[in-house]
Amino acid sequence: IISLGFLVIHTSSMIIAFNGYGERKKSDLIFVPVVHLIAAVMTLINLAPG
């Protein structure tokens, strides 16, 4: 289930990023790395013992 979640996040992030590059929208270009960092932190929290 976690892998499916990452697949959805990365696929949608690529669509949003390329749309942001094409339309030069800063909000889209900031949104993608922020979502990626949140997903990475959630993975680290998931690996924490206890």
11-24, pLDDT tens digit by residue?
A: 999 999 999 999 99
C-alpha 3/C-alpha 8 separation (Å) is: 9
The percentage of the chain sitting over the pLDDT mark of 90, rounded to a whole number, equals 56
**Domain count within the chain:** 1
Containing domain of residue 27, as a range? Answer: 2-47
Q: How far is CA 35 from CA 18, 46, 49, in A?
A: 15, 16, 24
C-alpha 24/C-alpha 45 separation (Å) is: 34
For residue 6 the two structure tokens come to 């990452």
- Mean pLDDT over residues 17-39, rounded? 92
Q: Residue 50 has what DSSP assignment? A: -
Mean pLDDT, all residues of the chain: 88
Query: What is the pLDDT at residue 27?
Result: 92
Q: Residue 2 has what DSSP assignment? A: H
